[in-house]
Amino acid sequence: MKLSSSILVFSLAMGAAASSFNAKHSACSSAATSAVPGPTVRATKGSNKGASGANEDPQTSLTLLPSVIAHGFENDGQDAPEAGQDPSLTSPNNFINFCATVPSLPLTNGKQIKTGSCNPAPMGVIAAITNMPSSKFVFPTNGAKLKANTDFTIAMAIRNFDTGFFVNPEQNFLAAPQQVDACSGNIKGNSHFVIEQLASLDSTTPTDPRVFAFFKGLNNPADSNGHLTADVPAGLPAGTYRLASINTAANHQPALVPVAQHGTLDDMVYMHCSILHHNSIPIEHEHLKHRRIQSSPLGPGQGFGLQQAWRPRANRVETSWFPGGSTTRMTPSSDHYAVPILRIARMRTKLFSLVLMLQAASLAMGMPVEGRDGTTSSGVSTVSVGEPDWLFV
């Protein structure tokens, strides 16, 4: 009985390990005999003959097999050219010696050569049109407002992409053809998140790809929800940013698909980070959240003053000054930018103070004064000036 239990536990453990392996590699039992693991695919010795006629492994031979020559490469595409169309380069031997045409450049040779290079690796297996990858950010979404210098986690949904495949970027960069999963037909690869800072949301200046605020390669497979995630420790400084995905094949080359006209394989969103606290109220104005509206000391309808508006990104704080008191309130604002108008407010306050002095002088001389409601009075206690209708926002 104990032996049977041990065998059962061992079987369950092996099953879990196999499930974990298959979750990343999606191996098909029906394709196991044809799918050989490792970066080099080797055919059975003697199964193919090179152009020289000798029996040799086509994956180690330095001779191009006639069966893989793409004769379409000999056509420059100008049989019926469109206006402005350029002729294609042509080759009768699959461009196997193309890098010899640029002897001034080094071979890429698996390295990230910043001064430029020539890469002799073929493009590889192209996924079917039904297997083109697609991604969409779950968080942050487009137009998101985040608190600056605060941790957050990026999450992106992805489909038709066999994630978790990545090679050494220092030794195998662009060094092998694109591969697809034998079972699903999806591209084997990995994704990346990159965040760039912008001057503003409406900036039309192209960014410099060499400069970015955050970059993360995603080496793990997507989770059970089909999401890829990455933490952004300490967040981002205050500013405007764009977040983009870079979905690549295992050797970090852009994912290749079978048609020229297709939707984007990546996603991009724009966001803003600012020094906010709780309900988007700036930290220095946090006390305004708990302040109750004060009534005017002159009584209802008797307040005389000016409203000045300061707009945070999600709420508007309005302050009204009255003789002997003030009123502060918050109202929702769809405006995305602060509108400082304190200088104008001070000018208006001085103007209304002057008007108030003139009205008081008129009352002192017994002259009738007309209030906003149309009534007239000749006594100070019955004056009805009312609150102005002006709100400068």
What is the mean pLDDT of the segment spanning 101-114? 98
Report the distance separating Cα 316 and Cα 294, nearest Å: 17
Average of per-residue pLDDT across 165-183: 97
Give the separation between CA 269 and CA 156, rounded to whole angstroms: 11
- pLDDT the model gives residue 358: 79
- Burial of 273 from C-beta contacts in 10 A (0-12 / 13-18 / 19+): buried
Mean pLDDT confidence for 206-212: 97
Q: Which residues are within 8 A (CB) of 112 and not within 5 positions of it... i.e. 6 or more apart? A: 169, 170, 173
Specify whether the CB–CB gap between 90 and 77 falls below 8 A.
no
21 against 121, higher pLDDT: 121
Nearest Cα residue to 386 out of 355, 362, 365, 364? 355
Mean pLDDT, rounded, of the chain:
75
> What average pLDDT does the segment 78-93 reach?
92
Interatomic CA distance for residues 96 and 122, integer angstroms:
9
The pTM score is 0.62
Instruction: Give pLDDT, residue 350.
Output: 73
Considering only residues 353 and 16, tell me which one the structure prediction assigns the higher pLDDT: 353
- Cβ-contact 181, 189 below 8 angstroms: no
User: How far is it, in rounded angstroms, from Cα 144 to Cα 155?
Assistant: 13
For residue 355, the model assigns a pLDDT of: 73
Token output for 116: 């430029």
Find tokens 């206690």 and name the residue. Answer: 381
Distance CA 155, CA 138 (A): 5
**Exposed/middle/buried for 309, CB within 10 Å: 0-12, 13-18, 19+?**
buried
In the chain, the domains with their CATH numbers are 129-274 (2.60.40.10), 286-392 (no CATH)
